[in-house]
Amino acid sequence: MSSKKKGGKPVITAGELRDRAPDERPAAQLSERELYAGKIVTLYRDTVRFPDGSTAEFDIARHPGASAVIPFLNDPAGDEPQILLLRQYRYAAGGYLYEIPAGRLDEGESPESCAARELKEETGCTAAQIEPLTSILTTPGFTNEVIHLFMATGLTHGEPSHEADEFVEIVIIRLSEALELIRSGEITDSKTALALMFVAGFKTGD
The set of catalytic residues is: 166
**Measured CA distances, 145 to 3, 62, 65, 67 (Å):** 33, 7, 5, 11
**111, 178, 121: which is closest to 149 by C-alpha?**
111
